[in-house]
Amino acid sequence: MKPSIYRESQAIIDLEAIRNNVRNECARLTSEQELFAVVKANGYGHGAVKVAQAAKEAGATGFCVSDLSEAIELREANLSDEPILVLSYVNPKYAKIALDQNISLTATSLQWLTETEQELTKASTTEKLKVHLKIDTGMGRVGLRDESEFEQASELFKTSSTLEMEGLFTHFATADSVAVDYFEHQQAKFLNAKSYFNQKIRYIHTSNSATALWHQGWESNVIRFGDAMYGMNPSGVALEEPFKLMPALSLETVITHIKELPPHEKIGYGITYETTDNEWIGTLPIGYADGLRRKYQGFRVIVDGEYAPIVGRICMDQCMIRLKQVYPIGTKVTIIGDNGDRNNSAQDAAEYIETINYEVTCALSDRLPRIYLNE
């Protein structure tokens, strides 16, 4: 989908905020640790390539993505030398593509390892595919779980002519929680799994943003820096940030239509809003096809430094707001970001629709142009 550049709704990304967050986290690392920027899902909605380039400038030494296409996008953007790890399952039949592009893949199971080895053997490759072995310590998604699997995987890597064990990793389910019992349970399981691999492994990593921020990058020489890189607190508001995170994204649009309605006029699909007095109603050119959930009805946007509620249901391409006065067509409306002395954060939006901050930004569709500051 091409961005809708002839419509005045846009996501504005401050790349200096990205750099600042990366620099601040890099300053906390030990000499043995490095930072990989997690730019999956189009950089959490911020734009993968631009974010990756900014993160590299600030000290990131590699990248994590969710699928092979995302990895190739970075390679095609001249990020040709840095390590790139695909964190999710990739069909073994595509392993040779990853090998040719020097992209590391995640081994999600013993079956994946054997099938991938077979595929590369058939391809008669003389080089080894770099693989990070995933240990499922309690997320329940992908990864090896029991000791017999660890033993078999360790032996396979020792004898394989096509697979190189570049990394060993896991993912914590509750690193952003005040309670630590389950986190400690997963720690113990990872240490047990790690004991089965006595070969030299370049990358050991357990640390997503939350583990990096609040658990000192436990048992990791690589930090997978995701949510926090974009200036969002992974815990929401449960835990205090060790340094000030700078939000990178603003979401802005304009008023395209305004009218004064008398009392008892109905607004929107399902007529879920009715005016109670003479009210100024503005229309905005942004809707759920751009990533605004219908549940945003009632959420306050900012116009001229004043809050204005969304009234009526969010439409596919438009939504309506209640204003205190008439404003000119083209007046800026801030959905996320600063406007005058007011601010709406992604966290504010997330709390209103009962989700997490990075779901808010990931939901922003490709129809919205991304405008970059401080390139």
Tell me which DSSP letter residue 135 carries: B
Residues in the chain: 375
Contacts of residue 146, defined as CB under 8 A and 6 or more positions apart, other chains included, come to none
Catalytic residue among 2, 40, 89, 352, which? 40
Annotation-wise, does 316 bind a ligand?
Answer: yes
φ, ψ of residue 302 in degrees (nearest 5): -125, 130
Alpha carbon distance 274, 303 (integer Å): 21
Catalytic residue among 122, 158, 259, 269, which? 269
Contacts of residue 179, defined as CB under 8 A and 6 or more positions apart, other chains included, come to none
Q: How many degrees, rounded to 5, is the angle at CA 292 between CA 291 and CA 294? A: 130
Nearest to 245 by CA among 14, 12, 22, 11: 22
Annotation-wise, does 232 bind a ligand?
Answer: no
DSSP characters over 167-183: EEE---SSTTSS--HHH
Give kind and range of the element (H or E) at residue 339. strand 332-339
Beta bridge partners of 259: 281
346: which 2 tokens? 């992604």
Helix (H, G, I), strand (E, B) or coil at 6: coil
Contacts of residue 364, defined as CB under 8 A and 6 or more positions apart, other chains included, come to 11, 45, 251, 290, 291
DSSP characters over 190-215: HHHHHTT--S--SEEE-B-HHHHHHS
294: which 2 tokens? 């219908």
Whether 40 is catalytic is: yes
Within a 10 A sphere around the Cβ of 84, how many other Cβ atoms? 27
User: Which residues are known catalytic residues?
Assistant: 40, 269
Binding residues for substrate, by number, are: 141, 316
